[in-house]
Amino acid sequence: MSDKHDVDGVPTTGHVWDDNLGDLTNQPPKWWMLGLTASAIWVVAYWLYYPSIPVSNTQSFFKGFGGWSAISEMEADKSVVDEVRGKYEDKLKGMTPAAILADSDLTEYVTRSGKVLFGDNCAACHGQNGVGTHDKQGLFAPVLNDDDWLFGGKIDEIHTTITGGRQGMMTAHKGVLSDAEITTLANAVAAGKPTSTPLFAEKGCTTCHGEDGKGIAAMGSANLADGIWRFESSPEGIKRTIEYGVNAGTPETRVAVMPAFQGGKLSDSEIKKLAVYVYKFGGGQAEAPVAPVAAEAVPAAEAAPAPAPAPVVAK
Amino acid sequence: MSNQEEKQEVGEVTYIYNEFENWTVNKGEKTIHAKRMPGFFRRLKDYTQFSLWLPFFLLPYLRWNGKQAILFDIEHRQFHFFNLTVLPQDIWMLSLVLLVAAMTLFAVTSVASRVWCGYFCFQTAWTDWFTWLEEKIEGNPIARRKLDEAPWSFDKIKKKGTKHFIWLLISLFTGISFSIWFVDAFDYWNNLIHLQLPTVGWVVLIMFLLGTYILAGLLREQTCFWLCPYARIQGVMGDSQTILPTYDYNRGEPRSKIRHGGQVVAPQGDCIDCFQCVQVCPTGVDIRDGQQLGCITCGLCIDACDSIMVKINKPRGLIRYASLDELLGKPVRKMYQHPRTLAYIGIILISLAGIIWGLTHLGSMTLKVMHERQPLYVVMSDGTIQNKYDFKVLNKTDKDFRVKVTAEGGIKDQVIIGAEELPMTHHGRGTSFTIFVRAPGANLNKDTTQIQFRVENVDDPNVYGEYNSKFYGPKRR
């Protein structure tokens, strides 16, 4: 290569390899030197601006002249989010859950944050999206998507349930009623027709479950005439419920306790959010029933042969 | 034939490397001061450059219905083209537009080499305008070289200062013109004058200012040589059928200076070694070395050579647009005999068809219906089955409107719940709401049943969206 490149007069390091290879001692290019210098200045500036030097074992450090800290940066970011949420949160404070429900913008906001709250506080018992959880007594916690509510499905009733919790109560009837009577009642209830046996009224079941056996929301008594079951739905299971009651204090009794979320667990706003969120699952009951929009008729091929019952039963 | 002998002796590859040793490649150590000569290609280049880049400066100021006619509104994620608004959901068409652009480049390059580089490229155009200004301020190439070498004087500072100042002004205006394709032009000027551009606005402007100034003012042809990827990509798109500015060595060689007094010492070609073709070349290459990386095929050497040929009473076209086949005396094929070009054109046509289909089928609403997965269905207390659907409606018109929901298919005697009070769908935005469908359990005869939802503007049934979903019920045994 030395034949082709004239490097005479340029100083070398003095080492020679392979007969004629030398190492030129040219300066690095100017742009490179500028870059190096700029980097060095940058390092010093960065080092002084940001927290950098730990101070021995005093648990302290040089805090930098820029005043930057990770926690203040996080709080600044958080305040941006809080500012966006603030205008909604301020409104929520003075509103009833029913008023929130009437405002579509707020409902949208509330259901978004409600999803997180529900996952953190409710889903452990009621399941993700309120699908309910099961155990050997039937449901461990009720399904929240359907329209069957022990304590009422209007927005204010749901709000009250979350705020103060609920604890239904059914006395144990073992010993009070004969085994044959319990079996008769259990079979009638399992068939969905509790009033079909005169025992239902005679033995005082109507006091709590109502004349028609459809339950009384104020007492939290179950609707015995529909297809939704809080506990086991088999005649044996129903018999057991009648024998040992609900929350009756014995080891054999059914257990159904909804804890109160007011007072430390959740703020007032959070409870309102959850009430609206649960209401919107699909089972919430309007104050005045709204006539649903009838869908277009289905093609004959899709229609089932059985005669159709009334489309919607508003409860 | 010594070339042939050498080739046989050392092998083809070594021969090419050996030949390369004799090439001079300008790595930026000398500034190219190209001569400007009038001619056909000079005029053509002026027209093509202006036809492409004048709209770049002027079109953003065009208003349409009180809005900017063409606006890539990145902030609001919309693209406005006169009456048309394209939202990000339809951006797949952009990929077809890019495909058309790329294939047009390929097709044109396979036919006539680097037409883009020579006649349209912003690098060529801006460099051309910058050097035109340079000539106006500092004089012709000889004067410029002299000025470069001269010691610093008041005159030199004045000339150089004026030149760089005007270059920077053009660069600034270039940056502004680029920016106003993406934000409202008049708002932008207003913010610029009041120094209230957002940070990203300043960054873009300064990047473009420096980029234009450095690339077109300082780097010039070095950009084409060492920075531009297309220079290299396009090199492989030509073949022996591609026409490009070519020195006809059959006619020109052996080249030598014309001799006064008519004494012909040796047989002489038409090339008189006047170097006009090299002097006018904006990238400083010698076209007589053959096709090469530095040649942007602008045709200015053809103008220069023709003007000399006329003066020495020789026919024009010693340098002309010719293919390698023509030069080697092979039969010249027609364009339709060029399968590569036809393939490119085919892809262009397919892409264009896709764009036209897309633009005519944009629709004014996009509907998505997501069936709730947990729970798939809910059994209500009266035995009816309820399904929950999340609706997402994208209103692509320029007005807010209310919608209604209907369904086809599904279950006999089903009812739609929640459609009574739907939120307003705001234009250019997505709106979501929940709909329940409830049907008597006895009417279900399948686990899943098809159901088609239709959402339409209550005032205009032509603005609608449809979506196929399913209605789920308990498992059938």
Nearest to A108 by CA among A259, A308, A273, A226: A273
CA distance A15 to chain B (A): 28
Residue A147: closest C-alpha in chain B: B380
Torsion sign (Cα): B206, B207, B208, B209: positive
Report if residue B238 sits inside a domain: no
Q: Inform me whether the pLDDT recorded for B147 exceeds 60.
A: yes
Chain A, residues 133-172, CB within 8 A of chain B, namely: 143, 145-148
**Peptide linkage before A235 cis (omega within 30 of 0):** no
Of all helices (H) and strands (E), which one includes residue A28? none
Between the two ends of chain B, the Cα-to-Cα distance in Å is 91
Q: How far apart, in whole angstroms, are the C-alpha atoms of residue B243 and residue A185?
A: 100
Model pLDDT, residue B368? 93
> Counting Cβ atoms within 10 Å, is residue A170 exposed (0-12), middle (13-18) or buried (19+)?
buried
Are B322 and B385 in the same domain?
no
Domain-terminating residue out of B172, B205, B233: B233
Are B259 and B226 in the same domain?
no
Which of these ranges, A57-61, A311-315, B185-189, has the smallest mean pLDDT?
A: A311-315
Give the whole-number percent of chain B exceeding pLDDT 70. Answer: 97
Model pLDDT, residue A240? 93
CA distance B443 to chain A (A): 5
What angle in degrees, to the nearest 10, is found between the helix axes of B141-149 and B122-138? 80
Are B123 and B213 in the same domain?
yes
Torsion sign (Cα): B10, B15, B19, B21: negative
Residue A223: closest C-alpha in chain B: B381
The amino acid present at A2, given as its one-letter code, is S
Give the whole-number percent of chain B exceeding pLDDT 90. Answer: 58
The amino acid present at B168, given as its one-letter code, is L
Inspect the interface and report whether the beta carbons of B434 and A280 lie closer than 8 Å.
yes
Cβ-contact B363, B396 below 8 angstroms = yes
Model pLDDT, residue B263? 64
Which of these ranges, A255-264, B130-139, B253-262, B450-459, has the smallest mean pLDDT?
A: B253-262
pLDDT by residue (tens digit) across B307-328?
999 998 899 999 999 999 999 9
On chain B, the residues whose CB falls within 8 A of the CB of A302 are 409-412, 449
pTM: 0.66
> Counting Cβ atoms within 10 Å, is residue A205 exposed (0-12), middle (13-18) or buried (19+)?
buried
Q: How far apart, in whole angstroms, are the C-alpha atoms of residue B86 and residue B355?
A: 12
Are B85 and B165 in the same domain?
yes
Q: Inform me whether the pLDDT recorded for B15 exceeds 70.
A: yes
Q: How far apart, in whole angstroms, are the C-alpha atoms of residue B156 and residue B150?
A: 8
Domain-terminating residue out of B186, B209, B233: B233
Matching residue, tokens 């209550």:
B458
Look up residue B332 and give its two tokens.
Answer: 């010249």
Report if residue B6 sits inside a domain: no
Q: How far apart, in whole angstroms, are the C-alpha atoms of residue B120 and residue B51?
A: 9
pLDDT by residue (tens digit) across B355-397?
999 888 877 888 999 999 988 999 998 889 999 999 999 888 8
Are B29 and B75 in the same domain?
yes
Is B71 strand, coil or helix? strand
Domain, as residue range, for B418 = 365-472
Are B329 and B370 in the same domain?
no
Domain count, chain B: 3
Report if residue B14 sits inside a domain: no
The amino acid present at A5, given as its one-letter code, is H
**Largest interatomic CA distance in chain A:** 124
Q: Inform me whether the pLDDT recorded for A160 exceeds 60.
A: yes
Length of chain B as a residue count: 477
Model pLDDT, residue B268? 79
Are B24 and B171 in the same domain?
yes
Question: Any residues with CB less than 8 A from the CB of B121 and at least 6 apart, and which?
Answer: B296
Nearest to A275 by CA among A161, A140, A164, A168: A161
Backbone angles phi, psi at B70, to 5 degrees: -120, 115
Q: Inform me whether the pLDDT recorded for A54 exceeds 90.
A: no
Inspect the interface and report whether the beta carbons of B413 and A145 lie closer than 8 Å.
no
Inspect the interface and report whether the beta carbons of A104 and B443 lie closer than 8 Å.
no
Inspect the interface and report whether the beta carbons of A295 and B378 lie closer than 8 Å.
no
> Counting Cβ atoms within 10 Å, is residue B2 exposed (0-12), middle (13-18) or buried (19+)?
exposed
Model pLDDT, residue A172? 93
- The verdict on A292 touching B (C-beta cutoff 8 Å) is yes
Nearest to A88 by CA among A100, A73, A74: A100
Inspect the interface and report whether the beta carbons of B412 and A302 lie closer than 8 Å.
yes
Q: Which parts of chain A are beta strand (E)?
A: 12-17, 21-24, 54-55, 60-61, 133-135, 138-141, 166-167, 257-258, 293-294
Q: How far apart, in whole angstroms, are the C-alpha atoms of residue B62 and residue B45?
A: 26
Average pLDDT over residues B278-294: 89
Nearest neighbour of B419 by CB, restricted to A148, A293, A302:
A293
Domain-terminating residue out of B233, B267, B292: B233
Report if residue B226 sits inside a domain: yes
Model pLDDT, residue A74? 95
CA B339 centroid distance within chain: 24
Chain A, residues 25-64, CB within 8 A of chain B, namely: none
Compute the half-sphere exposure of residue B189: CA atoms within 13 Å on the CB side of its CA: 6
Is B9 strand, coil or helix? helix
Is A15 strand, coil or helix? strand
* Partners of B439 in beta bridges: B385
Is B275 strand, coil or helix? coil
Are B61 and B201 in the same domain?
yes
- The verdict on A181 touching B (C-beta cutoff 8 Å) is no
Model pLDDT, residue A312? 41
Average pLDDT over residues A62-83: 92
DSSP string, A203-220: TTHHHHH-TTSS--TTTT
Look up residue A64 and give its two tokens.
Answer: 């930098």
CA B313 centroid distance within chain: 43
Look up residue A123 and give its two tokens.
Answer: 């889903």
Q: Inform me whether the pLDDT recorded for A8 exceeds 90.
A: no
Model pLDDT, residue A311? 40
Report if residue B349 sits inside a domain: no
Which of these ranges, A111-115, B100-104, B331-335, has the smallest mean pLDDT?
A: B331-335
Q: How far apart, in whole angstroms, are the C-alpha atoms of residue B306 and residue B38?
A: 11
The amino acid present at A53, given as its one-letter code, is I
Nearest to B418 by CA among A155, A100, A101, A118: A101
Are B272 and B305 in the same domain?
yes
Matching residue, tokens 């009384």:
A216
Nearest to B323 by CA among B252, B242, B251: B242
Report if residue B9 sits inside a domain: no
On chain B, the residues whose CB falls within 8 A of the CB of A297 are 412
* Partners of B70 in beta bridges: B81
Model pLDDT, residue B3? 66
Inspect the interface and report whether the beta carbons of B407 and A296 lie closer than 8 Å.
yes
* Partners of B409 in beta bridges: B451
Cβ-contact B473, B441 below 8 angstroms = yes
Q: Inform me whether the pLDDT recorded for A306 exceeds 50.
A: no
Question: Any residues with CB less than 8 A from the CB of B167 and at least 6 apart, and which?
Answer: B130, B133, B213, B216, B217
* Partners of A103 in beta bridges: none
Nearest neighbour of A293 by CB, restricted to B372, B378, B415:
B415
Q: Inform me whether the pLDDT recorded for B77 exceeds 60.
A: yes
Are B110 and B38 in the same domain?
yes
Residue B450: closest C-alpha in chain A: A302
Counts of helices then strands in chain A (DSSP H, E)? 11, 9
Nearest neighbour of B416 by CB, restricted to A143, A280, A292:
A292
Are B275 and B201 in the same domain?
no
Nearest neighbour of B420 by CB, restricted to A290, A302, A303:
A290
Report if residue B2 sits inside a domain: no
Model pLDDT, residue B262? 60
On chain B, the residues whose CB falls within 8 A of the CB of A303 are 412, 443
Report if residue B120 sits inside a domain: yes
Question: Any residues with CB less than 8 A from the CB of A27 and at least 6 apart, and which?
Answer: A33
Model pLDDT, residue B260? 63
Cβ-contact B439, B412 below 8 angstroms = yes
pLDDT by residue (tens digit) across A26-43?
888 899 999 999 999 999
* CATH number for position B463: 2.60.40.10
Counts of helices then strands in chain B (DSSP H, E)? 17, 15
Cβ-contact B193, B205 below 8 angstroms = no
Cβ-contact A138, A236 below 8 angstroms = no
Nearest neighbour of A148 by CB, restricted to B381, B439, B442:
B381
B44 to each of B38, B118, B242, B276, how far by Cα in Å?
11, 10, 20, 19
DSSP state of A306: S
Are B227 and B106 in the same domain?
yes
Residue B385: closest C-alpha in chain A: A146
DSSP state of A304: -
Q: How far apart, in whole angstroms, are the C-alpha atoms of residue B57 and residue B332?
A: 42
pLDDT by residue (tens digit) across B407-421?
998 899 999 988 887
Model pLDDT, residue B391? 93
CA B191 centroid distance within chain: 28
